[in-house]
Amino acid sequence: MNRFLDVWRHSVLGRHLLTAVLGLLVVMVVLEGVSDFRALQLAAMAYLGIAAGGLTVLTGINGQISLGHGALMAFGAYTTALLLDDPTGSMPISLVVLASTVVALVVGTAVGVAAARLHGPYLAGATLALAIAVPGIALYFRDFLGGEQGLRVSLPEVPTWALDLEYLVTGTEMSRSQYVAYLGWITLIVTFVLLANLARGRVGRRWRAVRDDEVSAELAGIRLGRARISAFMVSAAAAGAAGSVLAITARLAAPSGFTIVLSLTLLTAVVLGGLGYLSGALIGAGLLTFLPPFVTRIGGDAGLSDIRAAELAPLVYGLVMVLVILLAPAGLVGTTKMSLATRRARRQMAAAGGATSPDSPDRFDSPHDPHHSTTEPDPGKPSASGSTTSKGSTR
């Protein structure tokens, strides 16, 4: 136990790995207790969380605004669809996700080099153009990318080792939906560990320095362009992995799935959860995944038609967004952490005040104290005890 606590307190990597192991255990418990439908919903939450985590690095930590991450997800999704076009293919699915990540990383590098010269609304406009243009590529190369119908993704069979491990641990058979959900959440955990280590290390400090004050960062020797490009590369790689999981979950890569709506959804998840917090990105992804069907079901139970119930979801979604902005402007996680820090500081101040007794020589004089003197002591006049001067030197 002491060893566990030492690792938790003194090693950032160890703390992140322990958190990842605990998170994996929670995922296993949850996935073994839900239906196949819920497992696919959790897989959807996983790919939204991966992409939102990457966008958190870019927007929350480095200060760049991107409206084109849905387009970067498209590169990962189409790469997965092309590599999994044959159901009898022998390429491991982990390598497929890795190849999709690399393709999105290459595209993100090219976009990041161009975007490093832009700031604020100009950068948002450039990435918005990317989000609008990329779906058109599939329409232009319809013979290769499937046009409007997109490409079907053939999910390979569940590996034998995964089936044996599932039966050994739980005594049950793993369904394909569970396999997809496990794939998505393991990808999310690996991605978050890498992002968290980058954010807490020297690279993350450079990103924050560029975000907080560009002039000071440049005077400190940080190359602004290199820092911005590296942040865009990392964020694009995460988007590529998310796009790969999306294609495997939906078993389809089509241009209608990567419109500007997807990019705005990711940005909304980051804002709802709290800019700069990976846990906030995950909470925001969970809200965007489960809130619309929950509201639709409540509308159906209240007697609304299917169309009316479906229209109720965007209304509640917008109200939640407005409430979060008004009541928790730093996001759910950011506001919670700020409240806890304020409460902790107040307790420490109260404890310090209670520990100082009236007769203690360390007691702070208060302006309302009747013994408090409002006049400054004469530097040239000896103190009442006659032993020290105002500078504290003993005579």
Model confidence at 372: pLDDT above 50 = no
* Residue 2 to residue 140: CA distance in whole angstroms: 61
Instruction: Using CB atoms within 10 Å of the CB of residue 115, give its burial: 0 to 12 exposed, 13 to 18 middle, 19+ buried.
Output: buried
With contact defined as beta carbons under 8 Å apart, do 182 and 161 qualify?
no
* Residue 299 to residue 312: CA distance in whole angstroms: 7
- As a whole number, mean pLDDT of residues 336-347 equals 89
* pLDDT at residue 390 in the model: 40
Model confidence at 385: pLDDT above 70 = no
Which of 166-170, 215-219, 293-297, 352-356 is predicted with the least confidence, judged by mean pLDDT? Answer: 352-356
Distances from the Cα of 97 to the Cα of 155, 192, 239, 372, angstroms: 12, 15, 11, 70
What is the topology classification, in CATH, of domain 9-256? ABC transporter involved in vitamin B12 uptake, BtuC (1.10.3470)
- As a whole number, mean pLDDT of residues 315-344 equals 84
Model confidence at 156: pLDDT above 80 = no
Distances from the Cα of 310 to the Cα of 49, 70, 296, 353, angstroms: 24, 23, 5, 56
With contact defined as beta carbons under 8 Å apart, do 58 and 235 qualify?
yes
* pLDDT at residue 378 in the model: 45
For the chain, the average pLDDT equals 82
The H or E element spanning position 151 is strand 151-152
- As a whole number, mean pLDDT of residues 21-39 equals 90
Phi, psi of 91 (to 5 degrees): -70, 125
Within 8 A by CB and 6+ apart from 61, the residues are: 199, 204, 207, 208, 211, 231, 276
Which residues sit opposite 152 in a β-bridge?
A: 252
pLDDT: which is higher, 205 or 360: 205
Each residue of 53-71: pLDDT tens digit?
A: 999 998 888 888 888 888 8
Neighbours of 224 (CB within 10 A): 15
pLDDT: which is higher, 121 or 201: 201
- Which segments of 251-277 does DSSP mark as H helices, in order? 260-273
Which of 7-16, 57-66, 182-191 is predicted with the least confidence, judged by mean pLDDT? Answer: 7-16
Which of 93-107, 108-122, 214-228 is predicted with the least confidence, judged by mean pLDDT? Answer: 108-122
pLDDT: which is higher, 366 or 237: 237
Name the band, by pLDDT with cuts 50, 70 and 90, for residue 1.
Answer: low
- What is the share, in percent, of the chain residues with pLDDT greater than 70? 86
Q: Which of 66-80, 123-137, 149-163 is the most confident on average?
A: 66-80
Model confidence at 361: pLDDT above 70 = no
- As a whole number, mean pLDDT of residues 107-130 equals 82
* Residue 261 to residue 73: CA distance in whole angstroms: 13
R_g over Cα of the chain: 27
Which of 147-151, 154-158, 275-279, 345-349 is predicted with the least confidence, judged by mean pLDDT? Answer: 154-158
pLDDT: which is higher, 375 or 280: 280
* pLDDT at residue 74 in the model: 93
Model confidence at 362: pLDDT above 50 = no
* pLDDT at residue 189 in the model: 95
Each residue of 277-326: pLDDT tens digit?
A: 888 899 989 988 888 888 888 888 887 777 777 777 778 878 887 888 88
Model confidence at 9: pLDDT above 90 = no
Return the domain boundaries, the chain.
9-256
How many Å separate Cα 68 from the centre of its chain? 16
* pLDDT at residue 2 in the model: 67
Name the band, by pLDDT with cuts 50, 70 and 90, for residue 4.
Answer: low
